[in-house]
Structure 1
Amino acid sequence: MAPIPLSERPLDKYWFIPFFVLNIAVITYMIDIEQVTTMPPIAGKPYPWWPPRAVVDIVRWYGYKYDPLLIARPPFWRASIYYDIFFFGPFYFYAIHAFTKGINAIRIPAIIFGTCLTTVVTLILMEEIYGEYAAHDPFFVVGVNLPWLITPIAIVYRMWMGGERPFDTDKKTC
């Protein structure tokens, strides 16, 4: 059986693959790296060699203006950042390849990824709304983070409903 061409899988082409690319290019290996290389974020402290200075400045601006959790960086937050860097990051590279080529072996890793990311984001959003470091504007911060809650749920659904071979031509897929 051949995989359904990517051109016939708009959900994969226009939602999931761009989500993986965004996470590699911006979130995991820029913003998350900023979170662990500028700990604690002190004004006047030298900038790290990576990420670019503009990214550090934007993250700090956003954190001070909207999201105190991003500045406080309590232990659970840092743990979630390391998890993203060392586990989700490599997954994103493989997922881009697998979703592009229609490789069915991504099914179980994608389900695991989706459930893990949903769990992590739920914990973070609870802190953003009710915690010690609650966001100044929780509706805005939750809105900004909503794609990281909706997308993994959609991926789990896509992989679960696709059966053992979610990309094969004998099935209707997204």
Structure 2
Amino acid sequence: MLDAPSANLRLRDRPIDWLFIVVFSMFTVTSLISDLLPTIGVDISHPSSNFFVNSNWWYAHDTDPLFMTPPAWMRIVTGLSAFVYMPFYVVLVVSLIRGWNAIQLPSVIYATMIASITGIIVFGVEFFGEPEWITPHPAKFLAFNLPYVLLPILLLIRMRKPLPFTRRF
């Protein structure tokens, strides 16, 4: 005899999902502000009176010179964030709030992409790439960027079981 599917837990019974809701809401904003500018070719290599350009310059000159003068491949990476990941973040946040189990496979695909592209390629170039791109402050770089790799991996762990919203994490 087949068991009836379990009802999804209410959001208040899934406290770890609150962390993901807050973090991925913030990722939505940072994708829009930080990754869109270099993707569309805005020059962030010097201070500006524009708040968004100046914020990116502050981050890049102090922490991530590769981001300040991105090569074409880096603009593709930031473009993925601005035009693919950002809409995914919106859908993910709604799915976490509503308990939509269908977000499981897209979450796994997303986390795999982040771990591959950001975790391997970007971190690899930052730390082992061309000498002019080596990060002057590795601790700062990791403090700013490690959450962008670790939290998707935690999401991957969160989404590992079928029907992720029917049981506690």
TM-score tier by shorter-chain length is 0.7 to 0.9
CA distance in 2, matches of 1:90, 1:155: 16
Specify whether residues 3 and 42 from structure 1 end up closer, same or farther in structure 2 by C-alpha distance, changes over 3 A only. same
Aligned to 1:6: 11
Specify whether residues 43 and 140 from structure 1 end up closer, same or farther in structure 2 by C-alpha distance, changes over 3 A only. closer
Q: TM (normalized to structure 1)?
A: 0.85
Is the CA contact (8 Å cut-off) linking 1:29 and 1:85 kept in structure 2? yes
Q: TM (normalized to structure 2)?
A: 0.87
Specify whether residues 5 and 135 from structure 1 end up closer, same or farther in structure 2 by C-alpha distance, changes over 3 A only. same
Q: Report sequence identity in percent.
A: 25
Specify whether residues 77 and 12 from structure 1 end up closer, same or farther in structure 2 by C-alpha distance, changes over 3 A only. same
Aligned 1:46-61 pairs, distance under 5 A: 53-61=50-58
Q: Which runs of structure 1 show a deviation greater than 6 angstroms over 4 or more consecutive aligned residues?
A: none
- Choose from 81, 85, 104 the match for 1:84: 81
Aligned to 2:106: 109
CA distance in 1, matches of 2:109, 2:68: 29
CA distance in 1, matches of 2:73, 2:15: 36
CA distance in 1, matches of 2:103, 2:60: 34
User: Deviation string for 1:105-163 (max 9, x for gaps)?
Assistant: 00000100111111121111112212221110112201211111111111111111xx2
The one-letter amino acid of 1:111's match is V
Give the C-alpha shift of residue 9 in structure 1.
Answer: 1.0
SS in 2 for 1:146: helix
Give the C-alpha shift of residue 68 in structure 1.
Answer: 0.6
Specify whether residues 78 and 68 from structure 1 end up closer, same or farther in structure 2 by C-alpha distance, changes over 3 A only. same
CA distance in 1, matches of 2:123, 2:141: 8
Aligned to 1:36: 39
Is the CA contact (8 Å cut-off) linking 1:41 and 1:71 kept in structure 2? yes
CA distance in 2, matches of 1:42, 1:143: 21
Stretches of structure 2 that go unaligned for 5 or more consecutive residues are 1-5
SS in 1 for 2:159: helix
- Choose from 109, 126, 129 the match for 2:127: 129
| Aligned pairs, number | 161
Is the CA contact (8 Å cut-off) linking 2:111 and 2:155 kept in structure 1? yes
Is the CA contact (8 Å cut-off) linking 1:125 and 1:142 kept in structure 2? no
Aligned to 1:50: none
User: Deviation string for 1:1-23 (max 9, x for gaps)?
Assistant: 3211111111111x211111001
Give the C-alpha shift of residue 33 in structure 1.
Answer: 1.6
Give the C-alpha shift of residue 44 in structure 1.
Answer: 8.2
Cα-Cα RMSD: 1.8
